[in-house]
């Protein structure tokens, strides 16, 4: 197959272990695997108390940790070949930036009243950075899980999800929703998770698509606008809720807003906010209908909803970009592509495509040169397998 990156999980975990032994003397560390995620439907709905439909994938971070007898932190990023050294009770954001994901989690665990000692840590993985597959959530969840095991804290998965999200909100400064951490922690092999971000109830749906694979087309555009525009979208949604609230005081999020409320109270006041909110309200409805498609085995109908989501994200929510639109446009009339859309926060990263397995090589051969020619960028291709969530690595 052309240009497709293949995962070698066993060798990743042994590379991390080897590095640990070469840097730190002493006992065997414990090793945790924590995956990235895809999301099938439900984009920009999590922070609006709506629904999401993610799954954990075969791209992951492997983290080795071992206790120290002092209160020092020695953190090593294998892929960046960088080391951070600090003290467990003096946590400050680091100029290296990547330690912040671990330090934020340490801070949140301490805030829950769990004392931690010093530890050594080496991590590395194969989740592409900035491609919208949530390498940051995977790193946070790996840290939470590893420390819970190492210090026998007995944290349950939902607690680890919430503290990982809070670490990103507080220590890293991105006001992300709960989807990425939830998917990384609660993933189940060959299933997608429908999560209700209001009640946090979740249901697994089997996603065994005979002869169909998840293909991620990486635009190779790093989402540099993502954090500022992300926070702006949140504010626009909140503005819409306030306009509705003036008439329906009990409503606290777009989850409980209907299209007719938006037409009555938002459209006449602010067209831009109306379009943002309309996308979110429609996306929640689309996701619920999409899970019915899955239950009926109607993948064609499900795929059409992915295309509709892309349209909404591109035209109404405006978080796409030229390259992502180009990639979706290239596949939308291809009978071998069941559905496609941009995935994640937006402004770069990947499109997620459901493609007939027998057609993948041909698709990649066709799109790679036209993408290069039109966008002056190299396409990268990943085949996503749905895997289990964060766990001890074997
Ligand atoms: C990012 C955030 C998630 C979610 C998506 C958009 O991945 O971390 O919480 O909001 O964007 O659906």
Distance (Å) from CA 43 to ligand 1 centroid: 7
The one-character DSSP state at 128 is P
pTM: 0.95
> Which atom of ligand 1 lies closest to the CA of 174?
8
Which of 10, 63, 55 lies closest to 34 in space, CA to CA?
63
What is the C-alpha separation between 281 and 260, in angstroms, rounded? 11
Phi/psi for 120 (5° steps) reads -105, 145
pLDDT for position 131 = 85
Distance (Å) from CA 179 to ligand 1 centroid: 6
pLDDT for position 228 = 84
pLDDT for position 75 = 98
Contacts of 228 (CB under 8 A, 6+ apart): none
> Which atom of ligand 1 lies closest to the CA of 345?
11
Percentage of residues in the chain having pLDDT higher than 70 = 97
pLDDT for position 5 = 45
Task: Note the pLDDT tens digit of each residue in 4-27.
Answer: 444 455 589 999 999 999 999 877
Structure tokens at 141: 């969840």
Distance (Å) from CA 24 to ligand 1 centroid: 36
Distance (Å) from CA 368 to ligand 1 centroid: 27
pLDDT for position 173 = 86
At 37, which helix (H) or strand (E)? Answer: strand 30-39
Concerning whether 89 is annotated as a catalytic residue, the answer is no
Give the domains, in start order, of the chain with CATH numbers: 9-208+388-392 (3.30.230.10), 214-384 (3.30.70.890)
pLDDT for position 174 = 85
The arithmetic mean of pLDDT across residues 139-161, rounded, is: 98
> Which atom of ligand 1 lies closest to the CA of 136?
8
pLDDT for position 254 = 98
Q: Name residues contacting ligand 1 (CB within 6 A).
A: 43-44, 46-47, 134, 176-177, 179-180, 344-345
Report which protein residue has its CA nearest ligand 1's atom 9.
Answer: 177
Contacts of 328 (CB under 8 A, 6+ apart): 307, 310, 314, 340, 341, 342, 351
Report which protein residue has its CA nearest ligand 1's atom 8.
Answer: 176
pLDDT over 50 at 1, yes or no: no
pLDDT over 90 at 219, yes or no: yes
Task: Note the pLDDT tens digit of each residue in 277-298.
Answer: 999 999 999 999 999 999 999 9
């Amino acid at each position: 197959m052309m240009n497709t990156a293949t995962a070698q999980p066993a060798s990743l975990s042994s590379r991390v272990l080897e590095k640990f032994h070469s840097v730190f003397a002493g006992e065997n560390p414990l090793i945790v695997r924590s995956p990235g995620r895809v999301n099938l439907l439900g984009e920009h709905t999590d922070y609006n108390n709506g629904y999401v439909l993610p799954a954990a994938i075969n791209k992951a971070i492997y983290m080795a940790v071992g206790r120290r007898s002092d209160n020092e932190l020695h953190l090593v990023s294998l892929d960046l070949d960088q080391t951070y050294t600090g003290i467990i009770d003096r946590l400050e954001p680091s100029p290296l930036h990547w330690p912040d994901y671990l330090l934020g989690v340490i801070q949140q665990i301490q805030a829950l009243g769990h004392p931690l000692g010093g530890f050594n840590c080496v991590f590395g993985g194969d989740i592409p950075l900035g491609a919208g597959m949530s390498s940051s959530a995977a790193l946070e969840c790996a840290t939470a899980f590893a420390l819970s095991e190492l210090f026998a804290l007995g944290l349950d998965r939902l607690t680890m999800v919430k503290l990982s999200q809070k670490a990103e909100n507080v220590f890293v400064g991105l006001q992300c929703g709960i989807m990425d951490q939830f998917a990384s922690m609660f993933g189940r092999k060959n299933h997608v998770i429908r999560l209700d971000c209001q009640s946090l109830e979740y249901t697994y749906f089997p996603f065994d698509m005979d002869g169909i694979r998840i293909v991620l087309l990486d635009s190779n555009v790093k989402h540099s606008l993502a954090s500022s525009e992300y926070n702006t979208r949140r504010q626009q949604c909140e503005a819409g809720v306030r306009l509705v609230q003036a008439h329906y005081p009990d409503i606290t999020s777009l989850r409980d807003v209907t299209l007719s409320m938006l037409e009555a109270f938002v459209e006449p006041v602010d067209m831009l906010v109306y379009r943002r909110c309309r996308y979110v309200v429609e996306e929640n409805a689309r996701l619920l209908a999409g899970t019915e498609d899955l239950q009926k085995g109607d993948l064609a109908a499900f795929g059409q909803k992915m295309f509709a989501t892309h349209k909404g994200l591109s035209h109404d929510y405006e978080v796409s970009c030229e390259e992502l639109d180009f990639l979706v446009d290239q596949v939308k009339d291809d009978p071998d592509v069941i559905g496609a859309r941009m995935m994640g926060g937006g402004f770069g990263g990947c499109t997620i495509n459901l493609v007939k397995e027998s057609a993948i090589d041909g698709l990649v051969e066709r799109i790679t040169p036209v993408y290069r020619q039109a966008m002056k960028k190299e396409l990268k291709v990943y085949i996503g397998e749905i895997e289990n969530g964060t766990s001890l690595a074997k």
